[in-house]
Amino acid sequence: MQQGEQSAARPSALDLAGFAQEFLRRNADYRTQYRELMRHPADSTPSMAPEVMARRWGLSFPMRSGRLRG
């Protein structure tokens, strides 16, 4: 059994981040918005920008690797 299958089989074994990931992975609205954003990344309107979408879904990335480079 693979990692994802184990997590899906035992939801109580997930930590908070794992639970959140499973929630979003299974959420049809999130998947639709993500697909649209990936389909037209350069044409993104401000409301579909990756940062706005991340905030909309409660995601944060405090240690972005691009910001660490000088």
Q: pLDDT tens track of the chain, all 70 residues?
A: 455 555 454 667 888 888 888 999 999 999 998 898 888 766 656 656 788 888 888 887 666 555 554 4
Cα–Cα distance measured from residue 70 to residue 1, given in angstroms and rounded to the nearest whole number: 42
For 2, 33, 57, the CA distances from 60, given in Å and listed in that order, are 27, 17, 9
Any idea of the CA torsion for 54, 69, 41, 20, to the nearest 10 degrees? -30
Nearest alpha-carbon partner for 64 in 16, 54, 3, 56: 54
**Residue with structure tokens 């997590």?**
7
